[in-house]
Amino acid sequence: MPIQPDIQAYNAAQSPTDQPICDTLARAIDRHLPGAECKIWHRHPVWFLEGNPIVGYSKLKGCVRLLFWSGQSFDEPGLQAEGSFKAAEARFTAADEINAKDLKRWLARSIEIQWDYKNIVKRKGKLLRLKPPE
């Protein structure tokens, strides 16, 4: 499956070191989140399920950050807490640092565990879990 044109343009604008990281992430996310909507959101590639942001990546100084909006609830090694809500991240400086098995597992967890970021403004900053824990 080819990378969506807006995402492809974002990746192409990255440095020769960061472009392969972005391309690897985009292909894996597309493969493991079938049916997800992807677009450039707040200037970065983000994938959504039913309008809820799930995963995205962005260029930071010195790395590419992969962000899972509900990642703190995954209880997964390799993801670090980010921000004051439920997000978690992994950072990469080379494409060969991306562990395909870990990424596939994290993406599966992102489908299972979702906090309702889509309605966070309407709920005045309060997050609710979309799917109850099993």
Query: What is the sign, positive or negative, of the torsion defined by CA atoms of 93, 95, 100, 104?
Result: positive
Q: Quick: pLDDT tens for 104-114.
A: 999 999 999 99
Is there a domain that residue 76 lies in? yes
Is there a domain that residue 86 lies in? yes
CATH number for position 92: 3.90.1150.200
Is there a domain that residue 127 lies in? no
Please identify every stretch of the chain with a pLDDT value under 70, giving residue numbers as ranges: 1, 131-134
Q: Quick: pLDDT tens for 53-79.
A: 999 999 999 999 999 999 999 999 999
In which domain, by residue range, is 64 found? 5-112
- Cα separations in angstroms, 117 against 51, 61, 114, 128: 9, 26, 8, 8
Is there a domain that residue 121 lies in? no
- Number of structural domains, the chain? 1
Is there a domain that residue 27 lies in? yes
State the Cα–Cα distance between residues 38 and 48, nearest whole angstrom.
6
Is there a domain that residue 18 lies in? yes
- Say what the pLDDT of residue 84 is: 81
